[in-house]
Chain A
């Protein structure tokens, strides 16, 4: 028996291991609906977090030789991250439920002692109305912090506000 090792911040120098190629989940030739997931990471003063590490994981399409399902991107001086992936479809939920299409997001940064977890759902997806997680968030404004908006053809935006007004809903998973 043991307890999970304590988390420590990723710090400002994680770029030592950065590989920009990891931001493109389609780099092995995966076929499907290519999308860009982009957004800004902002602190409690609305200032950009320019040294964050954003990781994503999705279970649909299932990971394969051509699709890792996982990616990593940095944020730039404006706090912006950009990932290229395939648009997920619905996935099974607990019991007999179904989850709306979503991408899990892990946020790591200087000033974060433990990574934060949130999700990107997709605007105007009918299943959003019955998704167990979205339904469990009563305040529509809070729910909206998990829903990416279509910015241009194939480009979905989800800004992540770490603190304060319109603070992103972070998940206890």
Chain B
């Protein structure tokens, strides 16, 4: 069996040069990436244990137990590989702005109220079936200096590791029906429409807890091993 992780499908990943996203102008390499066969360095990867990376599945409370302001939401989903196999026991890191659209970060100068009870970091692990879940506050939109009247759509940042160095993934989850998505150069940089839409969580009434919090489902796919069935 071919143990290599397969290449990304055409159009499903953003290019590095995104003229509408100014930050890429001086940071995208000009030369094509150097091809190389994967080795043990790429096909293996770090293991994270809950002992060293404690679970933080409730982001809605401060360390002293005080409640953050905003709309409580449950975010849950499954992490699968490209063949639909669950990615078990893998670490998921989460960070986001608070309800007012401000990060608890000194570089964030957005003139919106900060919430002393919301730091905006979370960490969970998938179970044996690749499922994860956490409780947070719906993040607000925030302005950024990319172009005139530029606003980031509501989003949550995610970091995934999967089984290997080659399966590393950093992405952002968006919310359904957000009018700002149409104007966001980061969201729109991925050429394939379906690939973009998969970054938008689905509202899920099943996941919604009565009298408590709305539920959003965000499923994620990490690279699979071997040639794609289409290639035979």
* A binding-site residues for B, Cβ under 8 Å: 1-17, 43-45, 47, 49, 51, 55, 57-59, 63, 68-70, 91-94, 99, 102, 104, 106, 108-117, 119, 132-133, 136-137, 162-164, 167-173
Contact = CB atoms under 8 A, between A and B. Distances in A.
Given A7-B170, A117-B165, A162-B27, 20 more contacts: A6-B198, A6-B199, A8-B187, A9-B21, A17-B123, A17-B159, A43-B27, A44-B25, A47-B26, A57-B46, A59-B41, A70-B46, A111-B28, A113-B189, A163-B29, A164-B30, A167-B30, A171-B33, A172-B34, A173-B36
Contact of B14 (A57, A93, A114): A114
Interface string B161-188: 0000110111110000000000000110
B35 A172 contact: yes
Contacts of A47: 26
B203 interface: no
A17 B95 contact: yes
B84 A1 contact: yes
A57 B165 contact: yes
Interface in B9-62: 9, 12-16, 18, 21, 23-42, 44-47, 52
Given A112-B16, A113-B18, A17 B121 contact: yes
A119 B36 CA distance: 12
Contact of B9 (A3, A102, A163): A3
Contacts of A108: 170
Contacts of B119: 16
A16 B95 contact: yes
Nearest to B22: A111
Interface of B is mostly: loop
A106 B26 CA distance: 18
Interface string B197-226: 011000000000000000000001111100
A5 B199 contact: yes
A167 B93 CA distance: 31
Given A4-B169, A59-B44, A111 B23 contact: yes
B122 to A, nearest CB: 8
A92 B40 contact: yes
Interface string B90-128: 000111110000011101100000000001110100000
Given A7-B171, A92-B40, A109 B27 contact: yes
A112 B40 contact: no
Nearest to B160: A5
Contacts of A17: 93-95, 121, 123, 159
B95 A163 contact: no
B196 interface: yes
A171 B46 contact: no
Contact of A113 (B15, B108, B168): B15
A29 to B, nearest CB: 13
Contacts of B38: 173
B24 to A, nearest CB: 5
